[in-house]
């Protein structure tokens, strides 16, 4: 029933009906996870505010019976690029529904405090969308700090940062929550495991003919085919769009690309980099070049920003991009990065988490 149901969910109202029907029912867990995927048709044409409400409601429902490992990935991804206070608070609270804390939870929680701390809001977890009268009011930072306290010994790597925050955090409620988190972590005597990094995913997807000849335009207005740039040398590929409103996503992606490019040049690697825009109609070459420079990326023969001039679907399908679109353009997207070999075959992928320069460099250098 759930498999058939996923095809029929096409609107916010459909999602809410599905959640109402399946909340607390383990059989619906997989359906909720499918609906969280940015590529699901329910998000086509949906505006960003509605997407936020829908995703928050799905995560809230998934946490009802305990958060599964599959759901945890979505929660950590939202925390790593925290933006909306209610959605962030829902994710922080949902993490406490894992059977046990883990050291890997620390970094996303600390990033969430960094990004949402300056745009926090008073919300109610149990209200759809966060605003209403049901339940106790709370804030995103308060929920993040509560989750850090829940980590106990697993949160030890957070202590330096939390002690630093204690010297600058203002507001009685948050100061109390921060003190409680530090006390809970320090008081837990259990031995800890060092946080690990989720492995980079091995992929083997060859360049399809319909994409090989498709036309691209780079930041300098030069036109060329996909294979002209991507065949011949390993390439690291990231995605962005200039109208991204989340500083923890595209601006940070391009900034980190700049760091990676500097390492490639300094260490003499014959590895190219490419940044594709999710938004080719709006991101004309001049805008892409300005964006790259603004956020510290290099531009040159081996390091280019691209947009597609032909139908973007073959590119989206090749990279299996995690993005959705509305009338005004991109409405949401994952963090994702790829490594292509000399034949432009995708050999590595990082999805739904922040990529590490060292891991992409190691993967590309080994080709």
Q: Which residue of 2, 5, 129, 186 would you call a contact of other proteins, by CB under 8 A?
A: 129
For 105, 268, 323, the CA distances from 265, given in Å and listed in that order, are: 33, 5, 31
DSSP characters for 33-70? HHHHSTTSGGGTT--HHHHHHHHHHHHHHHGGG---HH
Residue 117, interface with other proteins (CB under 8 A)?
yes
Distance CA 224, CA 125 (A): 50
Please list every residue from 225 through 244 that binds other proteins, using CB under 8 A: 243
Residue 187 three-state SS:
helix
Residue 272 three-state SS:
strand
Residue 118, interface with other proteins (CB under 8 A)?
yes
Closest CA to 365 of 268, 259, 283: 268
- Secondary structure letter of residue 68 according to DSSP: -
What does the per-residue mask of binding to other proteins show for 254-293, with x meaning CB under 8 A? ---------------------------xx-----------
Q: How far is the CB of 277 from other proteins (least distance, A)?
A: 16
Q: Which is nearer to other proteins, 226 or 241 (CB)?
A: 241
Q: How far is the CB of 12 from other proteins (least distance, A)?
A: 12
Residue 119, interface with other proteins (CB under 8 A)?
yes
Closest CA to 77 of 37, 49, 117: 37
Q: How many CB atoms lie under 10 A from the CB of residue 266?
A: 8
Token representation of residue 15 = 């999602």
Q: Which residue of 130, 155, 312, 322 would you call a contact of other proteins, by CB under 8 A?
A: 130
What does the per-residue mask of binding to other proteins show for 161-200, with x meaning CB under 8 A? --------xxx--x--------------------------
Footprint on this chain of other proteins (rule: CB under 8 A): 47-49, 52, 84-86, 117-122, 129-131, 139, 169-171, 174, 243, 245, 281-282, 326-328, 331
């Amino acid at each position: 029933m759930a498999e058939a149901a996923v095809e029929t969910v096409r609107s916010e109202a459909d999602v809410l009906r599905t959640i109402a029907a399946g909340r607390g029912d383990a059989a619906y867990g997989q359906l909720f996870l499918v609906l969280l995927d940015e590529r699901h048709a329910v998000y086509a044409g949906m505006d960003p505010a509605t997407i936020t409400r829908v995703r928050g409601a799905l995560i809230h429902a998934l946490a009802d019976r305990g958060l599964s490992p599959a759901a945890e990935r979505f929660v950590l991804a939202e925390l790593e690029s925290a933006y909306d206070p209610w959605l962030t608070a829902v994710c922080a609270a949902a993490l406490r529904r894992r059977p046990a804390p883990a050291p890997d939870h620390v970094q996303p929680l600390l990033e969430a405090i960094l990004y949402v701390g300056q745009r926090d809001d008073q919300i109610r977890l149990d209200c759809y969308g966060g605003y209403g009268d049901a339940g106790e009011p709370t804030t995103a930072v308060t929920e993040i700090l509560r989750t850090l306290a829940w980590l106990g010994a697993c949160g030890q790597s957070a202590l330096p940062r939390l002690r630093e925050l204690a010297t600058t955090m203002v507001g009685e409620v948050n100061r109390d929550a921060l003190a409680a988190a530090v006390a809970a972590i320090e008081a837990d005597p259990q031995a800890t495991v060092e946080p690990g990094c989720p492995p980079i995913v091995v992929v083997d997807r060859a360049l399809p003919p319909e994409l090989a000849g498709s036309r691209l335009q780079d930041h300098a207005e030069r036109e060329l085919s996909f294979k002209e740039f991507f065949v011949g040398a390993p390439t690291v590929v990231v995605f962005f769009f200039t109208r991204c409103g989340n500083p923890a996503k595209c601006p940070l992606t391009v900034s980190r690309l700049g760091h990676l490019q500097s390492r490639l040049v300094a260490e003499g690697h014959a590895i190219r980099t490419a940044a594709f825009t999710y938004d080719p109609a709006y991101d004309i070459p001049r805008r892409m070049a300005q964006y790259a420079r603004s956020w510290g990326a290099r531009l040159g023969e081996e390091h280019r920003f691209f947009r597609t001039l032909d139908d973007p679907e073959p590119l989206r399908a090749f990279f299996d991009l995690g993005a959705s679109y509305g009338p005004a353009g991109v409405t949401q997207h994952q963090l994702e990065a790829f490594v292509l070999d000399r034949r432009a075959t995708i050999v590595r992928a990082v999805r739904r988490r922040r990529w590490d320069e060292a891991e992409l460099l190691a993967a590309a250098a080994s080709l």
